[in-house]
């Protein structure tokens, strides 16, 4: 019984983290925003509806869910090897023995009928089967975390697409308003040219301004259609978003974004958790490979009745049984077992490196999102200050032109810079909102973590939280 508790798998130790102890540009000690579910984080009704539809219809989610079911079935299959196997067997045989092979020297035709219960069990003295079961269980849990990672990434992509839709709408409204203003300016300058009080150069400059605004609007319409096609692919069906400016999304995003502690990231971010489960599986496979060098002990047997006639199968004296213990010790296999152990160790080294790389990438994602969010806030303030100055410049340039104090080229430059800065400000506001989404996803947000459970306590057939 002591031998049955043996295991040759190395103890799982989380590798040292090749990361800083704090996030770059983060001074918050509050719990991570990843503790908030996506429905509470995204407060705009249309965005919530799009995310819910994507989680239900997206094909990548369905593929990931299918892989989870596949991995869970593989775990159950492997787990069944730990228990005795019991089969009911019934066979009937009728045959003829020729005279020269018969003991009596005469040809004999006879029947053999069996009804048996057969059982077999491999005693897992060295932990080979338990380690294989542990490996498949860890792979199943890694697949479940991978599905959560796909869902979190999907939520972020849908939110980004929605924000782009709002950005394009607001920029298009600015372009339409600018086109109307410039059409009026062109009408006035054309009329002045026709009556001889203006120059053709001024009229063509106004035409240039108008054409630039129309070109910008056409490019926005094209980008908007492309973005809607991308959203339809993510959501899994055509999308219908009612009109609304970017301000709707801004008003719905007033939520603090604490990054939390680095240790929380290790527990919240699904790709890190999945990499750690894969590392556990690698350790378990090493234990199974080591146990393969030791004897395999199996117990098999059968109990039932046998008779030469069907009606005598359950009569007195028809009892039959057999018991066959087997010990198998590998002696020579041309290095196959040693190579299997080397393969398991190599995969463990790969799993450690993959885990460390995943952690490094996660911390970079968080730090980058924090830096972008801080810098974008500064850029927005600077751009708003510049926009106020450009509006005043455009007003003064128009006054100087109307009073004959300057050429229309001055108005042209002022209005062009004003339009470009208005467009840039909308883009920066959308980018700031997108940085909040990126930070939320980088921290592992999307779903509130399920109740903690002991990885060593779950068994095949029991639902895992």
Q: Give the per-residue pLDDT at 93.
A: 84
Full DSSP string of 28-92? --SPPGGGSBHHHH---HHHHHHHHHHHHH-HHHHHHHHHHHHHHHHHHHHHGGGS-EEEEEEEE
Average pLDDT over residues 318-329: 85
Domain membership of residue 463 (yes or no) is no
Token pair belonging to 187 = 């009408």
Instruction: Give the confidence band of 42 by pLDDT, cuts at 50, 70, 90.
Output: confident
Q: Measured at the alpha carbon of residue 133, what is the angle toward residues 131 and 136, in degrees to the nearest 5?
A: 110
Domain membership of residue 387 (yes or no) is yes
Pairwise CA distance, residues 125 & 82, whole Å: 11
Question: 54-68, 87-101, 336-350, 443-457: which range is least confident on average?
Answer: 443-457
| Neighbour-count burial of 278, counting CB atoms closer than 10 A to its CB (0-12 exposed, 13-18 middle, 19+ buried) | buried
Residues contacting 230, CB < 8 A, separation 6+: 161
Domain membership of residue 422 (yes or no) is yes
Domain that includes residue 43, residue range:
3-85+125-294+335-442
pTM of the model: 0.81
Instruction: Give the confidence band of 26 by pLDDT, cuts at 50, 70, 90.
Output: low
Long-range contact set of residues 402-405: C-beta below 8 Å, sequence gap at least 24: none
Asked if 188 and 408 touch (Cβ cutoff 8 Å), the reply is no
Widest CA span in the chain: 136
Domain membership of residue 321 (yes or no) is no
Asked if 119 and 85 touch (Cβ cutoff 8 Å), the reply is yes
Asked if 40 and 387 touch (Cβ cutoff 8 Å), the reply is no
Average pLDDT over residues 378-397: 93
Domains held by the chain: number: 1
Q: What is the pLDDT of residues 227-285, one digit of tens each?
A: 999 999 999 888 888 887 676 556 445 556 666 666 677 778 899 999 999 999 999 99
Q: Give the per-residue pLDDT at 31.
A: 62
Query: C-alpha distances in angstroms, 66 versus 60, 62, 147, 201?
Result: 10, 6, 9, 67
Q: What CATH number did the domain enclosing 401 receive?
A: 1.20.1600.10
Question: Which DSSP symbol is given to 123?
Answer: E
Instruction: Give the confidence band of 457 by pLDDT, cuts at 50, 70, 90.
Output: very low
Domain membership of residue 305 (yes or no) is no
Q: What are phi and psi of 369, to 5 degrees?
A: -65, -40
Instruction: Give the confidence band of 456 by pLDDT, cuts at 50, 70, 90.
Output: very low
Domain membership of residue 97 (yes or no) is no
Domain membership of residue 178 (yes or no) is yes
Q: How many CB atoms lie within 10 A of CB 163?
A: 25
Instruction: Give the confidence band of 378 by pLDDT, cuts at 50, 70, 90.
Output: very high
Domain membership of residue 452 (yes or no) is no
């Amino acid at each position: 019984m002591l031998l049955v508790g043996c295991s040759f798998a190395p103890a799982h130790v989380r590798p040292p983290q090749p990361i800083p102890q704090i996030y770059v540009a983060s001074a918050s000690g509050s719990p991570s925003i990843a503790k908030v579910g996506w429905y509470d984080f995204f407060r705009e009704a249309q965005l919530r509806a799009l995310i819910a539809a994507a989680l239900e219809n997206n094909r990548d989610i369905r593929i990931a869910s299918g892989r989870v079911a596949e991995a869970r079935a593989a775990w159950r299959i492997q787990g069944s090897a730990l228990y005795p196997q019991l089969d009911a067997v019934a066979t009937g045989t009728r045959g003829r023995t020729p005279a020269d092979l018969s003991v009596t020297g005469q040809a004999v035709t006879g029947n053999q009928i069996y009804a048996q219960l057969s059982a077999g069990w491999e005693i897992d003295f060295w932990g080979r089967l338990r380690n294989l079961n542990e490996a498949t269980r860890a792979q199943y849990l890694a697949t479940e975390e991978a599905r959560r990672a796909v869902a979190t990434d999907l939520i972020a992509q849908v939110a980004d697409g929605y924000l782009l839709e709002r950005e394009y709408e607001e920029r298009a409204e600015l372009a339409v308003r600018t086109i109307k203003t410039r059409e009026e300016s062109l009408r006035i300058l054309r009329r002045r040219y026709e009556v001889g009080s203006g120059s053709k150069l001024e009229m063509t400059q106004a035409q240039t301004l108008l054409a630039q605004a129309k070109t910008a609007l056409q490019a926005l319409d094209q980008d908007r259609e492309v973005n809607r096609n991308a959203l339809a692919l993510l959501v899994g069906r055509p999308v219908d978003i009612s009109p609304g400016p970017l301000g709707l999304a801004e008003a719905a995003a007033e939520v603090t974004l604490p990054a939390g502690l680095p240790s929380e990231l290790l527990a919240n971010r699904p790709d890190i958790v999945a990499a750690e489960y894969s590392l556990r599986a690698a350790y378990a496979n090493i234990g199974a490979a080591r146990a393969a060098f030791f004897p395999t002990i199996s117990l098999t047997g059968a109990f039932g009745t046998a008779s030469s006639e069907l009606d005598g199968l359950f009569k007195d004296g028809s009892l039959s049984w057999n018991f066959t213990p087997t010990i198998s010790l590998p002696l020579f296999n041309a290095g196959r077992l040693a190579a299997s152990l080397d393969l398991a160790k190599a995969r463990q080294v790969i799993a450690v490196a993959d885990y460390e790389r995943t952690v490094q990438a996660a911390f970079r994602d968080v730090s980058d999102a924090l830096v972008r969010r801080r810098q974008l806030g500064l850029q927005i303030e600077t751009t708003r200050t510049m926009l106020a100055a450009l509006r005043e410049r455009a007003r003064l340039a128009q006054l100087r032109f109307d009073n004959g104090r300057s050429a229309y080229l001055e108005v042209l430059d002022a209005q062009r810079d004003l339009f470009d800065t208005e467009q840039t400000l909308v883009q920066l506001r959308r980018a700031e909102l997108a940085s909040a989404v990126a930070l939320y996803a980088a921290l592992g947000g999307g779903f509130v973590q399920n109740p903690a459970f002991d990885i060593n306590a779950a068994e095949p057939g029991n639902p895992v939280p």
